Amino acid sequence: MGGKSHADDNAEISGRFGLEGLGDLVRAIVAYSLRKAIAPIRISLSMYLSPAFSRRLSDPVSRSIIRLFTRK
């Protein structure tokens, strides 16, 4: 279609970050390392937000389901 190919985009991005000579394995290792480095932030944020999530979503849904199956 006249546009840049996926390989051209990858080469441009790799050059931008200084990864032009590195293989897919090194990119995977870098991505995995970044994911693991961010894990404490993700876990603490999940723990902080879980009570609010439960109050706003889980509790109303469970109450509605219980209401369906209880006699009045």
pLDDT in tens, 13-71: 666 666 666 677 888 888 999 999 999 999 999 999 999 988 888 888 988 899 888 87
Measured between alpha carbons, how far is residue 38 from residues 5, 18, 31 in Å? 31, 22, 11
Please tell me whether the overall predicted TM-score, pTM, comes out greater than 0.85 for this model: no
> How high is the pLDDT of residue 30?
87
At residue 42, the pLDDT reads 93
- DSSP classification of residue 38: H
From CA 61, how far away is CA 65, in angstroms rounded?
6
User: Does the pLDDT value for residue 10 go beyond 70?
Assistant: no
Q: Is the pLDDT of residue 5 over 90?
A: no
